[in-house]
Chains A and B, each alone.
Chain A
Amino acid sequence: MAYSDSRDADGALDTDVLIGGSVRDYVALLKPRVMSLVVFTAFVGMAVAPGGIDPVLGALALLAIAIGAGASGALNMWYDADIDRLMRRTMKRPVPAGRLERTDALAFGLPLAFGSVAFLGLATNIVAAGLLAFTIFFYVVVYTMWLKRSTPQNIVIGGAAGALPPVIGWAAVTGTVGIESLILFLIVFLWTPPHFWALSLYKREDYARAGVPMLPVVAGEASTKRHIFAYAIVLAAVAAIAPPLAGMASLLYTVVAGALGLVFVWLSWQVLRTPDGDTAHLAARRLFAFSLLYLFLLFAVILAEWGFSGLVA
């Protein structure tokens, strides 16, 4: 069966397909860059949680969360291979580039998904494992299979999957879902749409070619820019005010988050002011790059203020 699937037009065997991809290809399936953000936000959720956790179990929990995130990436690449092939941004991924079969990604992702959930349950508790299972399900089934191809609100709702890791981290320590972890969730949830809409402004052609109904494709650039600006204002306000109100951050955090929020809003304003049809999209590129730094710095300040207190059992 594999042989007959691996012949080119002349009937010759394509040994490259038969031999399979390299280790690097399988690592790429895990979306390492996304994984690093997931691990960092989960770590912050774990660190700020009251009660503490054995450092070894904490490290194993982070590993399980990382593998779960990687499994989601692999399953995403399995399902989206058809549209990844059409987009410049994704066409070099292992499956659309032909270095791996779709079934390789599926066979790689499924065991990792089930294994990471089981391992997290064994290392910590059933609440954390359940949340990880829900996150993987939400990203793969709700976002990838359903929302992504059907609504311009895809990343708004789907963003919940990316926002859950700090809640998982918190649950790994406490066995519950606290208001503080939900605030961290809210920050990432509100951050996701302007982050991805900035990207989709300068990757609009890509999404249009693949038939993905991202906001710039469906509603146009002007509407997308207004959405980005509105979300930026809400995000900046919530991120600066909510953590101190919940007693999980100090005045120093408020000052830093406020300043970073002002930069975020200013960059969004620059995006809003850019005339439609501008092909360089410099403002959108700047906002996209800054949004990554913004989220990292917010969580880093929260982490520094809490002084790893949650990790000291």
Chain B
Amino acid sequence: MTVMAADDDQGLRLTEAQKKRRRARSLALAGVLAALVVLFYVLTIARMGQNVVTPPM
């Protein structure tokens, strides 16, 4: 535990390649989340579809 704390104090130094990989993964995750929002929006519109254009009486 103390060893872990000592390492934590020193901080974790990432290489440029590691930083780039982490950035790419974060961007991909953001993209997936944005895509999910769009997907559920499209799904809702498609499911409601005709009822939105001509509401049932």
Contacts and interface: CB of A to CB of B under 8 A. Distances in A.
A252 interface: no
Main secondary structure of the interface of A (DSSP, over half): helix
B47 A20 contact: no
A63 B14 CA distance: 36
A16 B39 CA distance: 33
Contact of B42 (A11, A19, A21, A56): A56
A19 B39 contact: no
Interface residues on B, range: 20 to 34
B34 interface: no
Contacts, number: 50
B49 to A, nearest CB: 7
B18 A3 contact: no
Given A3-B4, A16-B18, A19-B14, A57 B25 contact: no
Contacts of A56: 42, 46
Given A15-B12, A19-B18, A20-B25, A57 B3 contact: no
Interface residues on A, range: 20 to 34
13 contacts: A3-B8, A13-B7, A15-B14, A15-B18, A19-B14, A19-B18, A26-B25, A56-B46, A57-B43, A57-B46, A60-B42, A60-B46, A123-B46
Interface of B: 3-4, 7-8, 12-15, 18, 21-22, 24-25, 28, 39, 42-43, 46-47, 49
Given A60-B39, A119-B39, 18 more contacts: A11-B3, A13-B12, A15-B15, A15-B18, A21-B21, A21-B25, A22-B24, A22-B25, A23-B24, A54-B46, A54-B49, A57-B46, A60-B46, A63-B39, A119-B43, A122-B43, A122-B47, A123-B43
